[in-house]
């Protein structure tokens, strides 16, 4: 989790990179915009969980997600600013918006299960998307940022899976 694995300062004296070209900037902006959208949808779901989750462990998970997402957003914003990129406001996909609506309609144990299922699916999707983005990222610094975020997402995924199994056994 970001709280446990700090994003840290930029690496010391990286080798020179290719100058920013319009196509590189467009690719980087697209990657970062999608990352912000994934982050924003997860943040909204975690906020809902703080007020709607029955299990204290699920609420704690939501709090950790919020901390991690705040740090990830700061890292993304910092990268964009240092590279002169202007990022659009995050726009959730129809699927992500529908998922949030389903969560808003759930309460108690049903909410806990729906939230954890959503976080597991979202993290699996985010890990796959960021892995693909890392492979095509034109900028070494962006690839490094994605390499730092992917293990954090994996930790969040594993915790969500553990909580889902734990709640499934007790509920």
Which tens digit of pLDDT belongs to each residue from 37-90? 988 889 999 999 999 999 999 999 999 999 999 999 999 999 999 999 999 988
- What is the reported pLDDT for 96? 86
Is pLDDT at 12 greater than 50 in this prediction? no
Is pLDDT at 19 greater than 80 in this prediction? no
| Core vs surface per residue 20-57: b (16+ CB within 10 A) or e | eeeebbebbbebbbbbbbbbbbbbbbbebbeebbbbeb
Q: Which residue has the higher pLDDT, 31 or 22?
A: 31
Q: Are 49 and 111 in contact (CB under 8 A)?
A: yes
- What is the reported pLDDT for 15? 39
Q: What is the pTM of this model?
A: 0.82
pLDDT tens digits for range 100-117: 999 999 998 999 999 999
Q: Which domains does the chain have, with CATH numbers?
A: 23-170 (1.20.1260.10)
């Amino acid at each position: 989790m970001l709280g446990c694995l700090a994003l840290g300062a930029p690496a010391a004296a990286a080798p020179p990179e290719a100058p920013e070209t319009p196509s590189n900037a467009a690719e980087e902006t697209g990657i970062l915009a999608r990352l912000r959208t994934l982050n924003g949808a997860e943040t909204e779901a975690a906020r809902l969980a703080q007020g709607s989750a029955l299990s204290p462990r699920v609420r704690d998970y939501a709090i950790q997600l919020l901390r991690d997402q705040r740090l990830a957003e700061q890292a993304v914003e910092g990268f964009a600013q240092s590279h002169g990129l202007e990022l659009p406001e995050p726009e959730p996909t129809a699927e992500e918006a529908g998922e949030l609506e389903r969560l808003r309609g759930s309460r108690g144990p049903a909410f806990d299960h729906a939230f954890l299922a959503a976080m597991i699916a979202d993290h699996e999707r985010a890990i796959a998307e960021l892995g693909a983005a890392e492979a095509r990222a034109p900028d070494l610094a962006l690839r490094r940022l994605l390499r730092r975020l992917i293990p954090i997402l994996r930790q969040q995924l594993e915790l969500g899976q553990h909580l889902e199994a734990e709640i499934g056994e007790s509920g």
